[in-house]
Amino acid sequence: MSLLMVFQLRSFDICADFKLYTYVMTQLARLISILTLLRSKRLLTATELAEKYNVSVRTIYRDIRKLEEAGVPVYTIEGRGYSLIENYTIAPVQFTEKQANALITAEHIINQSKDASFVNDFKEALIKIKSVFKTSVQEKSEILSDKIHVFNWKLEETASNALSEIQIAITNFNCVEIHYKKANDYQISIRKIEPCAMYSTDNKWILIAWCHLRNELRAFRVDRIQSFKILEEKFEDRKFNISDYFRKHPYTTHDFNR
């Protein structure tokens, strides 16, 4: 079992509770750091670790239990500290592209918080976690970060199941076929689109995409996408800039009521 499996990183969990998620990310960053120290073969006491990370000794005890749950063979030498079983090789912590995208999405949501210390704590934890991203995942996460924006986030139950896959299509420049239903419209239209960016307002995710049917940029509410298929066909990067888009198309409630 990996550390990521222990924490079960998913977009739904990320959006559920700001403070809980920040706590989890801070703990994960600390666990990765503790693992790095344990690899040095030096014995580490709970007191030393508590002082280093500015947490209580009890918190370090919980961290060690988390490592053990993840299958890391930590053993305790009474009165001396913690170490790893000899010859144990730690598999590198790896995030999938979807997991990295979930973190980037969470960053934009959490930036809506009015508590500056809370936002800063999350950013510091995320910087540490990003340091273990593979280069390819890091590059894709940077693409997504420039193509996502959040307005007026509210903690409500999510009503869509396409967010992660659509983010993959955005960062990999895949065309997508969607079955889309407009508000107060009983008919479902089939669209082939080039997903460019997305933003959220009032807990509604809006996908900005080039629509082949209309031959123009259109906004689609993600929760109104009845089904979708990521196509193998690639599209040319349109160098879409979400800030420029909002300058030309000032944000209104129109997009998410469509």
Average pLDDT over residues 108-136: 77
Taking 60 as the threshold, does the pLDDT of residue 10 lie above it?
Answer: no
Taking 80 as the threshold, does the pLDDT of residue 161 lie above it?
Answer: no
Per-residue pLDDT tens over the stretch 189-247: 999 999 999 998 877 889 999 999 999 999 999 989 999 999 999 999 888 999 899 88
**Bigger pLDDT: 7 vs 22:** 22
pLDDT band at 170; cut points 50, 70, 90: very high
Phi, psi for 178 (deg, rounded to 5): -120, 150
CATH code that applies to domain 3-110: 1.10.10.10
pLDDT band at 12; cut points 50, 70, 90: very low
pLDDT at 13: 47
**Bigger pLDDT: 94 vs 179:** 179
* Interatomic CA distance for residues 153 and 148, integer angstroms: 13
* Interatomic CA distance for residues 254 and 154, integer angstroms: 18
112-to-84, 226, 239 alpha-carbon distances in Å: 40, 29, 26
Percent of the chain having pLDDT more than 90?
28
pLDDT at 21: 59
Q: Which residue has the tokens 């749950």?
A: 69
Taking 50 as the threshold, does the pLDDT of residue 9 lie above it?
Answer: no
Average pLDDT over residues 55-80: 87
Mean pLDDT score of the chain: 81
Say which range, 7-21, 38-52, 103-117, 223-237, has the weakest mean pLDDT: 7-21
**In the chain, where the domains are located:** 3-110, 150-257
203-to-118, 144, 242, 245 alpha-carbon distances in Å: 21, 19, 18, 20
The most confident of 27-31, 93-97, 116-120, 186-190, by mean pLDDT: 186-190
